[in-house]
Structure 1
Amino acid sequence: MCVTIKIDEIICSRRKTLALQINSEGKLIVRAPYRMHQSFIEQFISQKKEWILAKQAQAITRHQSRQTLKHRYLPGEKFRFLGHDYPLCLVVASKEGKTRLAKKLRLCDQGFLMLEQYQHQAKKLFVEWYQNEAQVFFENQVKAYAEKHQLTYREIKVGHARKRWGSCSSQKNLNFSWRLMMAPIEVIDYVIVHELAHLAHLNHSAAFWYQVKQMMPDYAVHRQWLKSYGHQLELLE
């Protein structure tokens, strides 16, 4: 059966090459130079048909998965921390407004405890909680790995990055996404190792990957985990 590839959008610019992009919903976006003939674009798409269909199927599956991951911040709903799921428990204060819960949100053996009156701020509280945990976690883990492998860095920052789990600047500053706190520790450690290796190699050369492997021999397993499940490390509404 012949499958027709639908072009959802064509963006023309001063670029010199033709490029194809599959967005998060599986739509095909073509980026082409000005005045490029339509027949050339169609021929190029025909040559890349298998790649397009595979990427679209992957994007649609991820998009559907994200829809099922949406949070409503209700009692019993599970939230992930360091690769484990914990249920949300709402704590009701007494008529006098007293409660043993010192913080608006905290994690204990029972799960995440949140004061009921702050349920409308749930996402904000979770983001702040993950950020605080991430800052402490990364400072400790990065220091341990850096000392072990005799690497030096300047500063560690935790941010909201969605498309990059971590980064390393030429000034040796390290940045990490708080969303990583939902992943297993081994996966987070891989990102740390990846960015520390950039202190010596600001590229993805063979030398860079050799250093990553020296620091974490099984890094490929954790790298693949991020590729397969990284889209789940999110607080969706």
Structure 2
Amino acid sequence: MTLQVANVLCRVVRSDRRSTAIYIERDGSVLVRAPRTLDDAKLSKLVEKKLPWIYRNLALWEELNRDAPTREFVSGETFYIEGQPCTLDVQSEAVLPLSLVGTRLVLRADARPRAEELLRALYRQRGYERLPGLVERFARQMDVRPGRLRVWELMNRWASCSAAGNLNFHWRAMALPLDILEYLVVHELAHLKHRNHTKEFWLTVEKTLPKWEQTAGWLRVHGAGRSL
């Protein structure tokens, strides 16, 4: 459902959670997660009290995304892989259509029309190379047993944990710095113990990553498109 408070349109998702939380999504929309038992009138008042916070963070989101440069597949352009800037180098004689050589992304000139598709595949490959080790390490530390791991397109979410315990990560997450990626892993693993964002859930996250709030805040204001 949607909820209009002042000039802010919110998407409301209700569940068995005990508290209300407000998020600025990667696409700039406002998401409100609320308990099923909270009626619309009380929810509106809670959101109204948070309007200054919403306005401030929407303005920050708009500033970040307005200033984001348009990525072009030309030599000298910069893309991020695991938090590190990598310079695109277009070569007519490159062996592979797209490859990562040190801090250079080497793109064969005749593959430029498929560059976006190739870059997405490269991120997915990196995800399948890096994420299993991180998941295994933190799962052992948190004493949980996750199911299948997938790296794919998740629209406006960085990661998710299914009811069956399967972990899903957006391919763009492989552009993120390591500490941010670790937070995503721990966050989803914590859902194997607590399905909703309860106090116990956040205590589980904090026990593993004491500085989780700093990385969570980074994710709230940086869209996936700015991470590339």
TM-score in terms of structure 2 length: 0.74
1:228 to partner: Cα distance:
2.7
Is the 8 Å Cα contact of residues 90 and 109 (structure 2) preserved in structure 1? yes
Pair 1:145-2:145 in alignment: no
Identity of aligned residues (%): 26
Q: For residue 140 of structure 2, give the secondary structure of its aligned residue in structure 1.
A: helix
In structure 1, how many angstroms separate the alpha carbons of the residues matched to 2:137 and 2:29? 43
Aligned counterpart, 1:211: 204
In structure 2, how many angstroms separate the alpha carbons of the residues matched to 1:230 and 1:48? 22
Q: For residue 172 of structure 1, give the secondary structure of its aligned residue in structure 2.
A: coil
Is the 8 Å Cα contact of residues 190 and 219 (structure 1) preserved in structure 2? yes
Between Structure 1 and Structure 2, whose CA radius of gyration is higher?
Answer: 1
Q: For residue 87 of structure 2, give the secondary structure of its aligned residue in structure 1.
A: strand
Q: Which amino acid aligns with 2:196?
A: N
In structure 2, how many angstroms separate the alpha carbons of the residues matched to 1:196 and 1:202? 10
Q: For residue 192 of structure 2, give the secondary structure of its aligned residue in structure 1.
A: coil
Q: Which amino acid aligns with 1:207?
A: E
Larger RCO (CA within 8 A; separation ≥ 6): 2
Paired positions, count: 200
In structure 2, how many angstroms separate the alpha carbons of the residues matched to 1:52 and 1:158? 31
Is the 8 Å Cα contact of residues 172 and 224 (structure 2) preserved in structure 1? no
Deviation per residue, 1:41-60 (Å, 9 max, x gap): xxxx9988746643552343
In structure 2, how many angstroms separate the alpha carbons of the residues matched to 1:151 and 1:46? 38
In structure 1, how many angstroms separate the alpha carbons of the residues matched to 2:184 and 2:213? 11
Q: For residue 157 of structure 1, give the secondary structure of its aligned residue in structure 2.
A: strand
Give the alignment partner of residue 109 of structure 1, picking from 102, 120, 125: 102
Is the 8 Å Cα contact of residues 24 and 220 (structure 2) preserved in structure 1? no
Aligned counterpart, 1:220: 213
Aligned counterpart, 1:57: 59
1:148 to partner: Cα distance:
2.6
In the TM superposition, 1:114-129 aligns within 5 A as: 114-129=107-122
Q: Which amino acid aligns with 1:204?
A: H
Is the 8 Å Cα contact of residues 176 and 227 (structure 2) preserved in structure 1? no
Q: Which runs of 5+ in 1 are unaligned?
A: 1-5, 10-20, 29-44, 94-98
Q: Which runs of 5+ in 2 are unaligned?
A: 1-5, 10-22, 31-46
1:114 to partner: Cα distance:
1.1
Aligned counterpart, 2:128: 135
In structure 2, how many angstroms separate the alpha carbons of the residues matched to 1:82 and 1:139? 15
Q: For residue 196 of structure 2, give the secondary structure of its aligned residue in structure 1.
A: coil
Pair 1:173-2:175 in alignment: no
In the TM superposition, 1:150-165 aligns within 5 A as: 150-165=143-158
TM-score in terms of structure 1 length: 0.72
In structure 2, how many angstroms separate the alpha carbons of the residues matched to 1:26 and 1:230? 8
Change (3 A) 1:220 1:147: same
Q: Which amino acid aligns with 1:73?
A: F
In structure 2, how many angstroms separate the alpha carbons of the residues matched to 1:197 and 1:124? 32
1:222 to partner: Cα distance:
1.1
In structure 2, how many angstroms separate the alpha carbons of the residues matched to 1:26 and 1:149? 33
* RMSD over aligned Cα atoms: 3.4
Deviation per residue, 1:195-217 (Å, 9 max, x gap): 00000100111111011011111
